[in-house]
A and B are shown apart, each in its own frame.
Chain A
């Protein structure tokens, strides 16, 4: 073949790997790298009044870090993160905790109806978040809620699912419902990879099933737990569809309830693309940072614990 460094490396088909990765690289550049670069560029731009007086025109100029300062000093943006944190504090531990619990129970030989439960709990994975929010929304809405129907019949009144006190658990519940099954399957698959001898040995030593789960199984599925935790975290930071779908049903969800909703408003309802870009860059960088820190910390702890 032609060109390339001489010697045995320049063999026939040396171009093959480049051709194999070419479509992925092209798409990566076009839809990940370039958009990020463009967002960073745009985030340093802004509309400024030039000329002054009645004849002043709005012109796009370079404004440096103004948009970042504006975003980072915007109390509404931080309030959005606060609401997101509250939502995440409910949804992430519940999703992971329930996924681990169900995975252990399905792995536990003493449980019945394991196949049925596994399928049933996995089912919501097939339901889009928007559809799930719609279903739960109607189950929250006082006029159609079966739960509020029961409490009303019992003379207890309606459950304020969509009221000020209920809104965080209610939105988080949609995420838990949609996420438990998928995470359960990941953890369960990992549990099945544990050699049976380990549990058997502990059982012969008289350990209870809970002790075996706690001391043998859970430490061995830590990589799967880290992975599911990472997914849950990334999923939390990009929450958008669920609160947006529930919004027509309740006044408790504002237009800027979570950061992505505020970014959407700034970009499309206020036409302030530079500001929205700056907020997008902050959100993406923040997620990257949190993910890397989480991976580093858990890796160190895992190797420290084992070694």
Chain B
């Protein structure tokens, strides 16, 4: 009996231990940047890395003072690109996915294969051609040059189609048609509400995708006041190799940018419909 209980105990301890090691691995860099952001630049390179420093307030002041408040500008830009881009892209994807799932129309098959190919072609390899198009139309360097390409998300359309197929019953739509509702009204008052949970997931995937994007804004923008945080932090780091004070600003900047996003993620976690992703391949 005792031996059995012991074995049982061990069966619990090992999986828990492995999970905790994984959690630690994922938390250490975040903990590091939070601690490092409290250090003065002298402390940064001298004290033990996990020992808190005394320079948090000075660092924050330096960060927000850098380049006349450039950091806040970057944060606002990131928010603009991510919120506006993912909201518009979610709506566009939902409309297209709904139509492809619920209507027979000419070109539907072609469109489906085009979308599928779009999912498989990595967006980044398109960055150079997109830059060329933008420079032909004189949009390079503007907010639009980053916003417009992020509005089209083949994967979002694909997921919206999968979700519409599984969650919007044809019978309900047919009943509304018999009642004389127009197709636009049917979408607005039946299709759209039914697709909301799927839309939240598409929105969040797009949001993180745009927020994390680096190459597209890096290529399109040259004016620092239009940079998102990713490109801004990179320029700090690139300059930092010759000007070490910027390392400190980059670290505080990274810490400040990580905190709200993690909070948002923790809050939104419960709304994720990840089964949409794992089921997507069967659809």
Distance between A71 CB and nearest chain B CB, rounded to angstroms: 13
Main DSSP-derived SS at the B contact region:
helix
CB pair A238 B122 closer than 8 Å: yes
**Residue with the highest number of chain A CB atoms closer than 10 Å, among B100, B124, B152, B277:** B124
Q: Which of B16, B102, B219 contacts A111 (CB 8 A)?
A: B16
- List the 4 closest pairs (A to B, CB-CB), nearest first: A35-B129, A16-B183, A20-B99, A120-B23
How many residues on the B side are at the interface (Cβ–Cβ under 8 A)? 99
Query: Which A108-152 residues have a C-beta within 8 angstroms of B?
Result: 108, 110-114, 116-117, 119-132, 134-139, 143-146, 149
The reply to whether the CB of A232 lies closer than 8 angstroms to some CB of chain B is no
A146 touches B125 (CB 8 A): no
Contacts A110-B11, A223-B282, A260-B215; A125 near B238 (Cβ below 8 A): no
Please name all residues of chain A whose beta carbon is closer than 8 Å to the beta carbon of B237 when the two chains form the complex.
Answer: 134, 137, 245, 248
A31 near B148 with CB under 8 A, answer: yes
B49-84 near A? 1/0 per residue, CB < 8 Å? 110000000000000000000000000000000000
Least distance between A33 CB and chain B CB atoms (Å): 8
State the CA gap A237–B124 with chains docked (Å).
Answer: 9
Residues in B neighbouring A21, C-beta threshold 8 A: 95-96, 99-100, 111
Q: Write out the residue numbers on chain B whose beta carbons fall within 8 Å of the beta carbon of A123.
A: 26-27, 30, 262, 265
- Residues of B contacting A119 with CB < 8 Å? 266, 269
Collect the chain B residues with CB atoms within 8 Å of residue A188's CB. Answer: 274
- For residue A212, CB closer than 8 A to chain B, the reply is no
B154: interface (CB < 8 Å): yes
A130 near B23: Cβ-Cβ < 8 Å: no
| Interface CB pairs A-B, < 8 A, 27 | A12-B182, A16-B103, A21-B99, A21-B100, A27-B148, A27-B152, A28-B115, A30-B133, A35-B132, A110-B15, A117-B22, A120-B27, A126-B261, A130-B233, A138-B33, A139-B29, A143-B45, A144-B36, A177-B26, A224-B281, A241-B234, A244-B234, A248-B238, A264-B219, A273-B128, A280-B128, A284-B121
- Judge whether A253 is part of the interface by a CB distance below 8 angstroms: no
Question: B87 at the A/B interface (Cβ < 8 Å)?
Answer: no
Contact A23 B96 (CB under 8 A): yes
A interface bracket (residues with beta carbon within 8 Å of B): 35 or more
User: A276 CA to B130 CA in the complex, in Å?
Assistant: 13
Inter-chain contact A135/B29, CB cutoff 8 Å: yes
* Interface status of A13 (Cβ within 8 A of chain B): yes
Q: Name B129-163 residues within 8 Å CB distance of A.
A: 129-133, 148-149, 151-152, 154, 157
Distance in angstroms from B244 CB to nearest chain A CB is 10
Task: Give bound CA distance, A121 to B102, whole Å.
Answer: 38
Known A-B contacts A27-B151, A223-B282, A287-B120; the reply to A127 vs B128 at CB < 8 A is no
